Structure 1
């Protein structure tokens, strides 16, 4: 709305215009109309400021994307390296393998998505609902009058705009013939002798071993790779963390693990707006602790009469800002 543009022409549509004196309009009513206009201008100015801030954020993200897109990869290097937060692997499926010996290797897939950090500032709160429609309804309301102990506060609600995360598929092949061995003791014998002793040791059937095809041993790292002849022989070591090793009259415990090959596929960058979480701003300074304020917020917004519903999580910060984490799932929970 542009308040500086010229006023449109008035057209007589059987309505008679009357002066304030003739209509009996009081001076107070005129002042009330002027005040309403001032309030409208103030709200419009505030909206314009918020819009400008959002536009700056969009331009900043566009610049970052453009910089990433314009940087060529180093010669003979086609890898993307990114530090990500600790994550859990969600098992997806076992993959069927065609071939003469399908029992040789185990193929499985995992769905992986990194958590997205969100900076929660002082006197702000994140409110996550169980139902998406509840959060969307409250966002449309924009402002809420909330009773916080002895205070009545006008709090604003905004969509929770998240940063960027990474998701991908992880395809893992577990060898049925080969295992990795570590913590091999350093002994004053040639490397060839150590390879022979490892081969003899892993051929013992009483410990789950079998006929060995090859042993690759590295004395400096104290590690070895043992390949068996029989298909599926390595599967007996999948649940075994330690393996006995007897040499020169001494007994040791070697660490064993299956040999794996990992492939990353369908790498995607994702982000967006949480559909179930709203950001509450304008919470006044409170003497109560954060947990008490969270309880008051929960009591207010869980009532259907106020447009609320069942709440999944509340996080309020009274002091220094904190970082919370979002996961990409059906609930978009914190």
Structure 2
């Protein structure tokens, strides 16, 4: 039994209550200690959280500033790219305009080239002409005479296309044509009527003159349509076949064959063989069956002394706007009578040609050998 105050002993009930109170007090003390410990821990965590928060805020601000800087840089880069794209588009547009300009210039140049090509193009059937033999050089060294040299001079006559309702009058003297061309019009009498005609000069189409030098080989022939062998085997067969004197051949120096064109050439060691073979035109090749190849002369040619001429006829006058009042011959007679009279500023007429209706004619001119006054 515990003692109460003043040395008195407490009753058992009071003692029990006191013990319970003491235990409860101890319990609350422990709770208070735990609460204080928890409070301290929470304060520490709070301080740590605030520090972490401040660090996070600082890092957030740094990241925000960096983001703003990156966005600014991106905007600048985008702006630079947009400016660059815009400049490239401008440059591209300028290049397209220049390309269009050059394409237009190219079209003009092509048209000019086509026109010049047409005017300088020569297409004519050259008739067979007798060749006059003038002599032969002295063959001191036969190797110097391996080719037959031919020189041909080709002269294209200048021309003018005469249309229906036009006439060409060529005078004997140049000064007569000049006098007629000075007139604003020519009043020509036809029976009881008169017709006013306008005189014009005659611009001639461009013409050319050139030489063709041809060298015909006396030791080489050209062959075609060979049999279908491999190039090496074909060469051997050709060399053996063309070496036979019994067929008109001779010793072969060189064999050439172009498999793409199917044409080749054979060069003999001596002259005379090629000339004889070209006259035969065909030659038999040794094969499993009888095979012929075509033989032609081998020649080379060059274009030399090419000259182009263009101008206006000095003694010819063009009359335009002629009405179909009479037939062709009668109207030509009236024109010739009119332009022969000195009172009409005319003179002796060399030739006259009138075309009526929808007909056309090509008039050719020749060069004066002597100066005509």
TM-score higher than 0.5: yes
Q: 1:123, CA displacement in angstroms?
A: 1.9
TM-score (norm 2): 0.52
Over aligned residues, Cα RMSD in angstroms? 4.2
Partners of 1:206 and 1:299 in 2: how far apart? 75
User: Within the alignment, does 1:297 sit opposite 2:332 as a pair?
Assistant: yes
- Deviation digits for residues 202-247 of structure 1, max 9, x if unmatched? 3344554322211111233221111111034333355x37213243
Question: Which of 1 and 2 has greater Rg?
Answer: 2
1:84-233 counterparts in 2 under 5 A?
84-87=121-124, 88=126, 100=141, 101-116=143-158, 118-128=160-170, 132-133=172-173, 136-142=175-181, 144-146=186-188, 152-182=194-224, 184-187=225-228, 189-205=229-245, 208-233=248-273
More strand by share: 1
> Tell me, what secondary structure is at the counterpart of 1:178?
strand
**Where does residue 57 of structure 1 map in the other structure?**
none
**Where does residue 258 of structure 1 map in the other structure?**
297
Unpaired runs of 5+ residues, structure 1, are 1-66, 72-79
The structure 1 residue matched to 2:306, chosen from 239, 264, 267, is 267
Q: 1:128, CA displacement in angstroms?
A: 4.6
Distance 1:275 1:245, change over 3 A: farther
Which region of structure 1 is more displaced relative to structure 2, 200-209 or 94-103? 94-103
Partners of 2:291 and 2:192 in 1: how far apart? 72
Q: Count residues in correspondence.
A: 243
Distance 1:269 1:228, change over 3 A: same
- Deviation digits for residues 236-278 of structure 1, max 9, x if unmatched? 355x372132432224351x33222222222222112224533
> Tell me, what secondary structure is at the counterpart of 2:145?
coil
More helix by share: 2
Distance 1:161 1:301, change over 3 A: same
> Tell me, what secondary structure is at the counterpart of 2:249?
coil
